[in-house]
């Protein structure tokens, strides 16, 4: 398989020069390619999320998927202060508008990398998930689908609700000590975290917006942990893979770590963030959801 190497690039923005990584298979004319934009979490970077910095994220497996499926992968860097995400004040967004940065990166990729405008996908983890919610609400016309890992939406009244339905896939871990599956915020976060909706309430926002029925198709994944400490159940609303669907991967017993068989976080991080599930590959699960979806 082709080994994709992410390249450093910059884009001029009103707030200054912004950095990102881009990985692109050799152009195959006249075929247009899908684009996956990957948003890193707080304290991480584009390098970490694409496997160039320690500890490499499970989302770095998007490079293998991109080589196999002829996709473009872009990982922007939040830069100083982190993302201006869905919790950001108007004043913060005025100083550094990260939705506009993502929007500009999409346009740049369409112009420079043979990207199909109907096949643009967005995925974010933790605070990058909050950024993905912000982009999905602000520029839904640019996206075919989006995915959020380990992040609930802001609570009612905290933001303007989304008005345009999108295919959405959300991953949540029930023992997450940082962004709680059942919502709220941990007492030990003090002033350093925002209260959030529960993961399931966040899923419900997008399911109801899409007009999908209450009853999902439920699939219990085989358990790989011989001690049975974590397990995964997938809930999927919407029957056709090429139409509107909303999905939830509920990962029982796991903490604030993307599930992966191949990319395992070191034990000292598990002590801080909780167990990492190995029953699925998060990037492959997201690609399975994205693959047949196109912007309407």
Tell which residue, 289, 287, 292, has the closest CA to residue 58: 287
**Whole-angstrom Cα distance, residue 139 to residue 147?**
14
Bridge-partner residues for 233, per DSSP? 220, 250
Residue 189, pLDDT score: 59
Residue 265, pLDDT score: 96
**Whole-angstrom Cα distance, residue 222 to residue 87?**
36
Q: Long-range CB contacts (< 8 A, 24+ apart) of 210-214?
A: 210/165, 210/166, 210/167, 210/237, 210/238, 210/244, 210/245, 210/246, 211/165, 211/244, 212/237, 212/238, 212/244, 212/245, 212/246, 213/237
Phi-psi region of 190 (alpha: psi -120 to 50; beta: other; left: phi over 0): left
Residue 1, pLDDT score: 62
pLDDT tens sequence for the chain (296 residues): 678 999 999 999 999 999 999 999 987 767 899 999 999 999 999 999 999 999 999 999 999 999 999 999 999 999 999 999 999 999 999 999 999 999 999 999 999 999 999 999 999 999 999 999 999 999 999 999 999 999 999 998 888 899 999 999 999 999 999 999 999 987 665 555 678 999 999 999 999 999 999 999 999 999 998 899 999 999 999 999 999 999 999 999 999 999 999 999 999 999 999 999 999 999 999 999 999 999 98
Residue 221, pLDDT score: 97
Residue 284, pLDDT score: 98
Residue 278, pLDDT score: 97
pTM summary value:
0.96
DSSP codes joined into one string, the chain: ------EEEEEEETTEEEEEEEE-PPP-TT--EEEEEEE--TT--HHHHTTSSSSPPGGGGHHHHHHHHTEEEEEE---TT----TT--HHHHHH--HHHHHHHHHHHHHHHS-EEEEEEEEEEETHHHHHHHHHHHH-GGG-SEEEEES-PPPPTTSSPPP-S---EEEEEETT-SSS-TTSB--GGGTTSS--B--HHHHHHHHHHHHT--SPPEEEEPPP--TT---EEEEEEE-S-TTS--EEEEEEET--SS---SSSPPPHHHHHHH-----SS-HHHHHHHHHTT----
The angle that helices 127-138 and 98-112 make with each other, rounded to 10 degrees, is 70
Q: Is 211 exposed, middle or buried (CB count within 10 Å of its CB: 0-12, 13-18, 19+)?
A: exposed
Domain 7-290 has CATH 1.10.3720.10: no
Q: Domain map of the chain by residue range?
A: 7-290
Q: How large is the greatest C-alpha to C-alpha distance in the chain, in angstroms?
A: 55
Residue 226, pLDDT score: 87
């Amino acid at each position: 398989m082709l080994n994709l190497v992410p390249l450093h690039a910059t884009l001029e923005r009103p707030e200054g020069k912004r950095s990102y990584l881009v990985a692109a298979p050799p152009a195959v004319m006249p075929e247009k390619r899908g684009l996956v934009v990957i948003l890193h979490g707080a304290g991480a970077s584009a390098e970490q999320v694409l496997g160039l910095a320690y500890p490499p994220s499970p989302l770095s497996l998007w490079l293998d998927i991109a080589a196999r499926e002829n996709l473009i992968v872009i990982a922007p860097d939040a830069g100083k202060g982190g993302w201006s995400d869905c919790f950001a004040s108007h004043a913060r967004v005025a100083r550094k508008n990260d939705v506009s940065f993502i929007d500009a990166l999409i346009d740049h990729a369409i112009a420079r990398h043979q990207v199909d405008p109907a096949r643009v996908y967005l995925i974010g983890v933790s605070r990058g998930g909050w950024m993905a919610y912000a982009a999905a609400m602000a520029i839904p016309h640019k996206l075919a689908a989006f995915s959020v890992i380990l992040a609930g939406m802001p609570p009612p009244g905290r933001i303007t609700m989304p008005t345009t339905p999108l295919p959405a896939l959300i991953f949540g871990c029930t023992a997450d000590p940082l962004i709680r599956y059942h919502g709220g915020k941990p007492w030990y976060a003090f002033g350093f975290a925002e209260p959030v909706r529960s993961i399931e309430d966040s899923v419900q926002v997008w399911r109801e917006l899409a007009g999908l029925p209450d009853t999902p198709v439920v699939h219990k994944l085989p358990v790989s942990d011989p001690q049975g400490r974590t397990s995964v159940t997938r809930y999927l609303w919407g029957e056709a893979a090429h139409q509107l669907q909303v999905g939830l991967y509920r990962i029982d017993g796991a903490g604030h770590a993307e599930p992966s068989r191949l990319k395992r976080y070191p034990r000292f991080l598990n002590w801080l963030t909780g167990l990492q599930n190995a029953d699925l590959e998060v990037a492959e699960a997201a690609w399975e959801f994205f693959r047949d979806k196109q912007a309407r």
